[in-house]
Structure 1
């Protein structure tokens, strides 16, 4: 009885004092007190398997021991915490290691910009820079794309609910159909190029094209690598900058460190955030081809763009990329998840299920109104944290830490299947 009263009391705190804008707490209505690896515990001691990973901010799991040790040591030694964009050893160590471990092995040459601590900050900086470099104002994005919640990022986001939240008209963005948005038979790159070459299309030559290789919030829509390469070809042909938003799908989520690597492209600007710090600490990068680094000092800035504890954990996180072991694990585990989803869709045709995704960013589109939400709620009751995505929340999303063990994956699968059966009344 006492434990129940305590839980009810702690939840009441959020209802009484926190804004109505809160969202995830409505899906997961408990107070969490501890986390480790791919698990969390609430204040009653109940254990949850994490198929959510901080919306992609915890690719290496909760409280990774090596990162935690580095962070505690740094703080204990009075290391610099806040520094704006001043020089610090923590930042220098990160820049050197990022160049050696990530950029050089992939033959990528980028200047690194610290635009502010979140994904929407890196997207805003990318849009501003593309406009500055080209002198054009239009940016082309894609249907069901999601790029952040500030005004510039919203202008290139597809979701109508999020766009309406801006409260003002959103200008200087045009949405084009993503890969397979109009069906397998429609070539959407050809569609895009027709708008660019036709003087009567009403679409001006854009400063940039921005895209996610796998649309996380948009419904786990994975573009074919050939399609991505052809979009880059369009950009080169028309002198348009290509911005890849790797905020959620980068840092190994689909297998390689950058999600676009298998497409064989070299974007002009790359947006990274979420798991780049490795520990869930706020951090974002904007990677810029040197010839486009035309910023004047201070032209884009932010008070928290120099978050040194995040540099410390990010530097340690790069140890995962000293070889291909993690990449190969992600691909293998991704195939296990994909096989589970395929079998689930075949076993329960009432789901009207459509497996989607790549690597360890997977999901099942349930073409039954409200079913994905019900499955996620049922799974949470059974000890699994999982969210929905898509314009109508029609996809339940499997996005665990990349380091999750196969046994935990299987336990999560069992909970999902039990939840499906319960929601279908089987």
Structure 2
């Protein structure tokens, strides 16, 4: 074993995960490419689990960040006013909220996805006076206790070590084939004998990233919003992974035309991979007492600098169209793979540049990801049984890079079929 990896083996906690899947020492990254210490070049279809939607070391953001540091710009300020903070808020208002007719207060919790979720749950409970939160099967919302309580994965929930209470799990869209799962939810609300009180909030992901790239239909989201309005339930959309262009629009819920009460953003909102999170709250819900939810590292100024620059992409409507065009390329590719290799027993999941293939063959998707890494492409799996291999290229990847990655994935599918002794059409002949 490499000496540096051996050091990690000896010193780092057993909780580490990605270094096990990608056992090399990375030294450099740019755009959609990474290099390890041996000089091997890798295509990155992982994008920091959605934290690097614009790729690694995006040049314009890097220049702004370096200049800010060299000019002795404020690094740490809690929630004091800084030029970097004001510049971000102005640009977010003008480029993102105004064109979408959105009226929200911008809250800066601690700079992580789980913290924006924690703040959303707290404000919903505070403003309604109710305790319960409804979440959905296979949802993933973070690893702190509140966020974990609305997460579906049983392995992650067990890590809490205590009972996770005041939450109710409901079936996500298509969790039960052929049934509208919101019938089930609505029945629970209407029936006094259901044991389910009217909740403070409903929280959901429009596309469940860690849960298996499950995408809710627009009709399902619209009906969920109507139910929340009817029962005066706070509607929270967790857009930490699916947002910031990952599904083809800045917010993943835009095509459904819904208006969440609270929106959770993190990961790529910082643009450069620097820690940042924001919680968007409708003004009538924004009734915090000063400091009622705080954190030492809320309002990361260096992330404000790169986040502000990242929004420049969204000033041009052609950028969004280009993301959607790349997404269509991925959709056609995955559909072609399913038709070409029926032995995978697979179907396509997700939308936008948040798609993958789910295989009914146990261990198959993990094998595809493993062979992809051998062929110098970084890709992860998702789902309760890692049954989905998912494609998360940067949303600004060029056509050449995208096609190169897709070629590696097809080769890796062939490798996996061969290594698992799955008979192909060609082999059967």
User: Considering the TM-score relative to the shorter chain, is it more than 0.5?
Assistant: yes
Distance 1:115 1:408 in 2: 35
In the other structure, the counterpart of 2:421 is none
Q: Which residue of 1 aligns with 2:416?
A: 423
Instruction: Say which SS state the counterpart of residue 98 (structure 2) adopts.
Output: helix
C-alpha distance in 2 between matches for 1:342 and 1:140: 34
Instruction: Give the one of 401, 404, 409 matched to 1:411.
Output: 404
The residue that corresponds to 2:334 in the other structure is 341
Is 1:234 the counterpart of 2:234 in the alignment?
A: no
> Is 1:94–2:50 an aligned residue pair?
no
TM normalised by structure 2 equals 0.97
Is 1:361 paired with 2:359? no
Matches of 1:115 and 1:95, distance apart in 2: 14
Q: Does residue 1:68 correspond to 2:58, yes or no?
A: no
The aligned residue for residue 427 of structure 2 is none
CA deviation after TM superposition for structure 1 residue 406, in Å: 1.4
How many residues get paired?
A: 419
Does residue 82 (structure 1) correspond to residue 55 (structure 2)? The answer is: no
Partner of 2:290: 297
In 2: Cα distance, 1:126 partner to 1:66 partner: 32
Partner of 2:147 in structure 1? 153
Unaligned runs of 5+ in 1: 1-6
Residue 32 of structure 2 is aligned to residue 38 of structure 1: yes
Aligned equivalent of 1:258, options 243, 251, 266: 251
How far did 1:255 drift?
0.9
Which 4+ stretches in 1 moved above 2 angstroms? Answer: none
SS of structure 2 residue aligned to 1:424: helix
Matched, 1:307 2:297: no
CA apart distance, 1:168: 0.5
SS in 2 for 1:175: strand
Work out the CA distance in 2 between the residues paired with 1:189 and 1:180.
10
| RMSD between superposed Cα atoms in Å | 0.8
SS at match of 2:74: coil
Cα distance in 1, alignment partners of residues 38 and 397 from structure 2: 24
Q: Deviations over 1:374-400 (max 9, x none)?
A: 110110000100000001000000011
Matched, 1:320 2:313: yes
Q: 1:49-64 to 2 correspondence within 5 Å?
A: 49-64=43-58
Distance 1:234 1:87 in 2: 39
- TM-score when scaled to structure 1? 0.97
Residue in structure 2 matched with residue 104 of structure 1 by the alignment: 98
How far is the alpha carbon of 1:410 from its aligned partner? 1.3
Cα displacement (A) at 1:323: 2.2
**Distance of 2:405 and 2:360 partners within structure 1:** 22
Hey, what does 1:170 align to over in structure 2?
Answer: 164
- Give the 3-state SS of the residue equivalent to 1:244 in structure 2: strand
CA shift for structure 1 position 356? 1.0
- For 1:118, which of 100, 112, 116 is the aligned residue? 112
Q: Which moved more, 1:29-38 or 1:345-354?
A: 345-354
CA distance in 2, matches of 1:135, 1:414: 54
Report the counterpart of residue 4 of structure 1 in structure 2. Answer: none
| Aligned position for 1:388 | 381
**Matched residues in 1 for 2:325 and 2:50: separation?**
19
Instruction: Return the offset for 1:100.
Output: 0.5
CA distance in 2 between partners of 1:228 and 1:72 (Å): 42
Shift of 1:45: 0.5
Matched ranges for 1:10-25 at <5 A:
10-25=4-19
| Aligned-residue offset at 1:347 | 1.1
> What residue in structure 1 maps to residue 123 of structure 2?
129
**2: CA distance, partners of 1:167 / 1:21:** 15
Q: CA deviation at 1:210?
A: 0.2
TM-superposition CA deviations, 1:193-237 (whole Å, max 9, x none): 111111011111000000000000000011111110110000000
**Runs of 5+ consecutive residues of structure 2 not aligned to the other structure:** 419-423, 425-429
Equivalent residue, structure 2, for 1:287: 280
Whole-Å separation in 1 of the counterparts to 2:377 and 2:318: 27
Structure 1 range deviating more: 188-197 or 63-72: 188-197
1:326-370: CA deviation from partner (whole Å, max 9, x where unpaired): 211111111111111111111111111111111100000011111
User: 1:305 Cα shift?
Assistant: 0.2
The structural deviation recorded for 1:114 is 0.4
The separation in 1 between residues aligned to 2:100 and 2:82, in whole angstroms, is 26
Distance 2:314 2:324 in 1: 14
Cα deviation, residue 291, structure 1: 0.4
Q: Secondary structure at the match of 1:252?
A: coil
